Amino acid sequence: MKIKTSILAGACLSCLVHGGTAAQAAECGTSDPITVAEMTWLSAGTLAYVTKAILAEGYGCNVQIVPGDTVPTASSMLAKGEPDIAPELWVSTVKATWDQMLTKGTVYKAGDIFASGGQEGWWIPDYVAEAHPEIRSVSDLKDNWQVFEDASATGKGRFYACPPGWGCEIITNNLIKALGLEETYEVYPTGSGANLKATIARQVSRKKPFIGWYWGPTEVIGKYKLKVLDMPAYDAAKFTCLTDAKCEKPELTGWAVGEVAVAATTSLKEKAPAVAEFLSKMQVPNAEISDVLAWGDDNKASPEEVAAYFFKNYEAIWTKWVPSDVAEKVKASL
């Protein structure tokens, strides 16, 4: 089924995003606009529209979607207390900023959005791993740069960079310094999350080498059979330095299991306790959200359309987040 031919998905989308609110603003707890960050990858965008639909349709809130990305959103929440909600904030990639946010007290962690946490790392395709058993960890990259050499830029391996503005950009740059890869690899710009994903698809379809950062749960890891390279055990102090662009002496350490928070402002919690209660229960199982994202990828669906698909097909998950009367209002809007 092609998404452009799906009348049902379009109808669901219209109800979810633009429909009237049956609940009164009093049920929301505030008539002030509630801003929700829509980040630039599919899972975060989908979760933003899921959040918006539940708040608008179930609680009668005045909700606005605002553009975001990991680093800018975290910085804005720290400095301005905006946006009110970031449904998928990768805390582990902005640890230094997150610690400041908690110390300041204007932002809190409502919950963990992924039941099994997030996974970040440097990945290679399965066929590269099979052909080069000598490459098993990030420490093996320095002496095997020729494996990742690109015909258009000989003499160095090509490491595909994180998109600018993403938390992994700073971490990856620091890790390259810690591993001494500056002389043997060129950090090749990808420009955006969509370009990075397209690059992986292109390289894998041609059975060409790829080494770069990625994360899960996503459809990309399973679809393209990527294998994560081994890294040392997570060291909190070393990793905090890696998240700082001014880290003077970066040292090698692995990512922890990703702490991916439903982040919200404390002012929202104070004026809208029912919303805070919902946010504290908002969590998706990793396998199921990967399936949802795979559907979205296969159908070239927008985040709004993927949110509509989630509501229709994963009712057993989201109805546990809210009281039954709220769930009924959301279902009635589908």
Q: Which residue has the tokens 């529209």?
A: 49
Selection from 134, 132, 158 nearest residue 145 by Cα: 158
The CA distances from residue 6 to 1, 13, 186, 191, 310, in Å, are 7, 11, 44, 31, 15
> CA triplet 10, 330, 49: central angle to 5 degrees?
55
Taking each helix axis as running N to C, give the angle between helix 7-18 and helix 303-313, from 0 to 180 degrees, rounded to the nearest 10. 100
Q: Are 334 and 311 in contact (CB under 8 A)?
A: yes
**Type and span of the H or E element at 38:** strand 34-38
Residue 74: CB atoms within 10 Å: 27
pLDDT reported for residue 219: 83
pLDDT averaged over the chain? Answer: 90
Could you tell me which of 61, 63, 68, 64 has the C-alpha nearest to residue 88? 68
| pLDDT tens per residue, range 224-257 | 888 889 999 999 999 999 999 999 999 999 988 8
Q: What is the pLDDT of residue 192?
A: 93
Percent of the chain with pLDDT over 90: 77
Q: What is the pLDDT of residue 286?
A: 86
| pLDDT tens per residue, range 267-320 | 999 999 999 999 999 999 987 898 899 899 889 999 999 999 999 999 999 999
pLDDT of residue 218: 85
Q: pLDDT-derived band of residue 25, with 50, 70 and 90 as boundaries?
A: low
Distance CA 247, CA 263 (A): 26
- How confident is the model at residue 115, as a pLDDT? 93
Report residue 265 as tokens: 């402002």
- Look at the alpha carbons of 294, 170, 114, 326 in this order and tell me if their dihedral is positive or negative: negative
pLDDT tens digits for range 103-142: 999 999 999 999 989 888 999 999 999 999 999 999 999 9
Query: Which domains, from first to last, does the chain contain?
Result: 3-117+258-332 (3.40.190.10), 119-242 (3.40.190.100)
Q: SS3 sequence, 113-147?
A: CECCCEEEEEEEEHHHHHHCCCCCEHHHCHHHHHH
Kindly report, residue by residue over 48-102, the tens digit of the pLDDT: 999 999 999 999 999 999 999 999 999 999 999 999 999 999 997 898 999 999 9
Q: How far apart are CA 279 and CA 318, in angstroms?
A: 11
| pLDDT on residue 39 | 94
Whether cis (ω within 30° of 0) applies to the bond prior to 250 is: no
Can you tell me the distance from the alpha carbon of 24 to that of 58, in angstroms, rounded to the nearest whole number?
9
List, for residues 117-126, the tens digit of each pLDDT value: 988 899 999 9
For the four alpha carbons of 281, 285, 290 and 295, in that order, the dihedral sign comes to negative
- Which residue type is seen at 77? M
22 — pLDDT class (breaks 50, 70, 90): very low
